[in-house]
């Protein structure tokens, strides 16, 4: 499965939610039009079960499931790929574990040089952020919209923007050069289907 060139990239919100609620939330977000799901989970003891259930739903919608931080888990459950952050290993190790067809994305924060190196190293997409204050990552360093404009001229891969993105401010990031908007709370804090649909309208 290929990584999409535009759309809503929904990242799971798992804190304080049981497995069935997480599964239902993801199903609703997909119904609302999310085109990528990233399974991000810092708390659950049942990640294999949850990842397998989310993969079944994603396959139903023909949408890729990516695992945050954990190429080994992605391999174990047969997910479509992995998203790598600053302290989550490297691209070549993930590629060896998952193979040539897996989707691999990398967090580049606010650094175009990291993005250029990642492109040379064969990632499938790069992500910048956070662009706005975020309850999910309150201590993350801010990224600047100018980085997206720079990426538009120097990066030939899909560019993901993340961090405090709402339907009201997401259009500015798309206009600056983002191809996808990655969202946690804005999708999953309320009605995920309706919330996802509001973001999807930005791409019309």
| CA distance to 1, 70, 84, 91, 110, per residue, from 114 (Å) | 25, 20, 12, 12, 9
171 phi and psi angles, rounded to 5 deg: -60, -35
Cα-based angle 31, 131, 157 (whole degrees, multiple of 5): 70
Q: How confident is the model at residue 135 (pLDDT cuts 50, 70, 90)?
A: confident
Query: Computed over its alpha carbons, how large is the radius of gyration of the chain?
Result: 15
Residue 109: CB atoms within 10 A of its CB come to 20
Instruction: Enter the pTM of the model.
Output: 0.96
Closest CA to 189 of 9, 11, 6: 11
CB proximity list for 132: less than 8 A, separation 6 or greater: 163, 164, 165, 166, 169
pLDDT digits (tens, 9 = 90+) for 50-107: 999 999 999 999 999 999 999 999 999 999 999 999 776 789 999 999 999 999 999 9
**pLDDT (tens digit per residue) in 33-54:** 999 999 999 888 889 999 999 9
Residues 6+ apart with CB under 8 A from 145: 131, 172, 173, 176
**Structure tokens given for 150:** 């720079």
The DSSP code for 94 is: H
Residues making up the chain, counted from first to last:
204
7-203 CATH fold:
TIM Barrel (3.20.20)
> What pLDDT shows up at residue 88?
66
Model confidence at 134, pLDDT cuts 50, 70, 90, reads confident
The residues near 32 (Cβ < 8 Å, ≥ 6 apart) are 187, 192, 193, 194, 195, 196, 197, 200
- Report the Cα 114 to chain-centroid distance in Å: 18
């Amino acid at each position: 499965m290929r990584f999409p060139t535009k759309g809503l990239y929904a990242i799971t919100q798992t804190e304080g939610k049981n497995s069935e609620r997480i599964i239902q939330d993801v199903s609703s977000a997909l119904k609302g039009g999310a085109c990528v799901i990233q399974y991000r989970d810092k708390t659950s003891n049942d990640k294999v079960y949850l990842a397998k259930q989310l993969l079944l739903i994603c396959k139903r919608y023909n949408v890729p499931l990516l695992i945050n931080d954990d190429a080994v888990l992605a391999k174990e459950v047969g997910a479509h790929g992995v998203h790598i952050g600053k302290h989550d290993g490297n691209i070549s190790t993930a590629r060896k574990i998952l193979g040539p067809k897996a989707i691999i994305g990398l967090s580049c924060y606010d650094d175009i040089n990291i993005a250029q190196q990642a492109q040379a190293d064969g990632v499938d997409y790069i992500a910048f952020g956070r662009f706005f204050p975020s309850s999910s990552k309150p201590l993350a360093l801010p990224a600047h919209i100018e980085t997206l404009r720079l990426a538009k001229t120097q990066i030939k891969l899909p560019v993901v923007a993340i961090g405090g993105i709402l339907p009201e401010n997401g259009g500015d990031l798309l206009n600056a050069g983002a191809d996808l908007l990655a969202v946690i709370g804005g999708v999953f804090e309320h009605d995920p289907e309706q919330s996802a649909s509001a973001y999807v309208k930005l791409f019309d």
